[in-house]
Amino acid sequence: MKRPQNLTLLTDFYQITMANGYFEHHVHDKIVYYDMFFRKIPDDGGFAIMAGLEQVIEYLKDLSFTEEDIDFLRSKKCFSEGFLDYLAHFKFVCDVWAIPEGTPVFPKEPLITVRGPALQVQFIETMILLCVNHQSLIATKANRIARAAEGRAVMEFGSRRAQGADGAVYGARAAYIGGCAGTACTIVDRDMQIPALGTMAHSWVQLFDNEEEAFRRYAQTYPDNCTFLVDTYNVLASGVPNAIKIFNEVVVPAGFRPKGIRIDSGDIAYLSKKARLMLDEAGFPDCDIVASNSLDEYIIRDILMQGGEVDSFGVGERLITAKSDPVFGGVYKLAAVEENGQIVPRIKISENVEKITNPGYKKTWRLYERQSGKAIADVIALADEVIDDSEPYEIFHPDYTWKRKLLQDFVAKPLQEAIFIQGECVYQMPSVQEIRTYCEKSIQTLWDEILRFEHPHKYYVDLSPKLWQMKDNLLEKYSQVKVTSK
């Protein structure tokens, strides 16, 4: 699904002021390397899910400045005519590598790496972060909710609570990647073939003189797909009994079986158990019970722990907004520059240790146990390094270097794939259905301890010895820099 509008100027204004400065000081064509990565997993979980790459690709393919863009920038009266002429003839020429969508990912490892002229690489920061931060956040939250449902279908019901149209559309896409079975958002079905699901609202029941008539009219319209919302008045006293009555009088005589009932309020665990008994006694053990109403992974887990008889869940605002932790803190940082044909590393140092970056042009390897197929650790290495899985390999904690482990009988796979080479897209984008299947299989490579909601095992993301030494040398170098004053 492509956005219809030109989004070239959907960028922070300082990206353009810096671009103009690069141009004026003749460094706009200097080759640089940037990494997009994140520092913290939402909800203190064990892993996140990479998503949003397709929208990054669409943006980069269409990246150009219209005459209207140039006229607007000229009106700001702070950009040179030479720079504006450069933008008028702009052509994206960067190399881009990325971890595929649906891959479980961890803090500090590059999700996207971009190499190219400084002006271009800097300019695209905002949209890369916007696309990946949003969808990775929602995909991660959706997967937590889907796992809490223990194989029961989860439907994304959040369009009306999303932050704008893009939040609804791309949030539904990300939720599907993360494990949701479908969405309430119709346009997503039309444009992405993600199943749109839904039956009735309380207003349908209220519109008719009574609940029984409302159910009867609906069953006459949709006898082969009949799910009733039973909590408009009283779930157990009227909703379920009226549903059973209409199932018997309309649905079954028409040659169909009822699809389900939905409970949207009250004590879901208690009501679902009582409703299940009533449906079974009436001869409808195959009638599903759907639960909705401000659900999240913890409420769903508790409902099931308490014996709730729920077959599927509809989850809205707490999914589409990732309410419990609504920011995916991805950042985009300079890692290296090319000087005289050499790649020269750059590092950002901070008194906040978590904000110290990993320098250099890098790639990430994932190491798997050969027999079980389970992921052991990720290793961030320099781009020219190859981890030979035919030989033993020692990993070590990048901060507590005495923590070491010698790996044998493992498989090493690089995570990033080429997306653009010299501005041309070389990546065959999978369908969202293929991404969802890949995501499900990839999560199965993680140990159960990493899947815990509370206090998950921390997955190791280590540095190769060469990268660790490079970083240590730079830290030592800049620790010697002293500020002098007169």
Band of pLDDT at residue 4, cut at 50, 70 and 90 = low
- The 10s digit of each residue's pLDDT in 262-315 is 999 999 999 999 999 999 999 999 999 999 999 999 999 999 999 999 999 999
Longest dimension (CA), the chain: 95
- The pLDDT, as a whole number, for residue 481 is 60
Lowest mean pLDDT among 108-112, 275-279, 478-482: 478-482
Degrees to nearest 5, angle at CA 252 with 250 and 258: 95
Whole-number Cα distances in Å, 103 to 66, 132, 441, 443: 35, 13, 9, 8
Residue 483, pLDDT above cutoff 60 = no
Degrees to nearest 5, angle at CA 105 with 117 and 38: 55
Name the token pair of 173: 């896409």
DSSP state of 435: H
Residues in the chain: 486
Report the mean per-residue pLDDT for the chain: 96
Distance in angstroms (rounded) separating the CA atoms of residues 113 and 97: 5
DSSP state of 196: B
- State the residue for tokens 């197929």: 373
Residue 484, pLDDT above cutoff 60 = no
CATH class for domain 13-138+326-479?
A: alpha beta
Whole-number Cα distances in Å, 190 to 177, 183, 437, 478: 17, 12, 20, 55
- State the residue for tokens 């999700």: 111
Band of pLDDT at residue 457, cut at 50, 70 and 90 = very high
DSSP class per residue in 25-62: TT-TT-EEEEEEEES--GGG-S-EE---HHHHHHHHHT
- The pLDDT, as a whole number, for residue 78 is 95
Distance in angstroms (rounded) separating the CA atoms of residues 145 and 292: 13
Residue 117, pLDDT above cutoff 90 = yes
What residue type is assigned to position 299 of the chain?
A: I
Band of pLDDT at residue 5, cut at 50, 70 and 90 = confident
Degrees to nearest 5, angle at CA 430 with 429 and 433: 145
Query: 32, 124, 104: which is closest to 415 by C-alpha?
Result: 104
- Report phi then psi at 428, rounded to 5: -90, 105
Query: 142, 4, 111, 7: which is closest to 439 by C-alpha?
Result: 142
Backbone conformation region of residue 347, classed left if phi is above 0, alpha if psi is from -120 to 50, else beta: beta
Q: Looking at residues 173-189, what average pLDDT do you find? A: 97
Residue 326, pLDDT above cutoff 70 = yes
- Report phi then psi at 381, rounded to 5: -125, 165
Distance in angstroms (rounded) separating the CA atoms of residues 197 and 194: 10
- The 10s digit of each residue's pLDDT in 138-152 is 999 999 999 999 999
CATH topology of domain 139-320: TIM Barrel (3.20.20)
Residue 187, pLDDT above cutoff 70 = yes
Distance in angstroms (rounded) separating the CA atoms of residues 329 and 38: 5
Could you give the strand order of the β-sheet that contains 95-98, starting from the edge strand earlier in sequence?
342-345, 330-339, 31-38, 112-117, 95-98, 417-421, 424-425
| Beta-carbon count within 10 A of 250 CB | 19
Q: Please list the residue range(s) of the chain that carry CATH number 3.20.140.10.
A: 13-138+326-479
Burial of 6 (0-12, 13-18, 19+ CB in 10 A): middle
Distance in angstroms (rounded) separating the CA atoms of residues 167 and 9: 19
- The 10s digit of each residue's pLDDT in 213-263 is 999 999 999 999 999 999 999 999 999 999 999 999 999 999 999 999 999
Distance in angstroms (rounded) separating the CA atoms of residues 155 and 372: 32
Residue 485, pLDDT above cutoff 50 = no
- State the residue for tokens 């006229």: 71
Band of pLDDT at residue 3, cut at 50, 70 and 90 = low
- The 10s digit of each residue's pLDDT in 44-54 is 999 999 999 99
- The pLDDT, as a whole number, for residue 161 is 94
| Beta-carbon count within 10 A of 128 CB | 25
- The pLDDT, as a whole number, for residue 480 is 72
- The 10s digit of each residue's pLDDT in 83-101 is 999 999 999 999 999 999 9
Residue 440, pLDDT above cutoff 60 = yes
Q: Please list the residue range(s) of the chain that carry CATH number 3.20.20.70.
A: 139-320
Name the token pair of 154: 């989860």
Whole-number Cα distances in Å, 389 to 6, 412, 413, 475: 46, 6, 9, 30
Name the token pair of 130: 């916007």
Residues in Cβ contact with 413 at an 8 Å cutoff, skipping those fewer than 6 apart: 365, 366, 368
Residue 381, pLDDT above cutoff 90 = yes
Band of pLDDT at residue 6, cut at 50, 70 and 90 = confident
- The 10s digit of each residue's pLDDT in 334-364 is 999 999 999 999 999 988 888 999 999 999 9
User: Could you tell me where the beta strands, DSSP code E, fall in 18-177?
Assistant: 31-38, 48-49, 95-98, 104-105, 112-117, 153-156
- The pLDDT, as a whole number, for residue 467 is 98
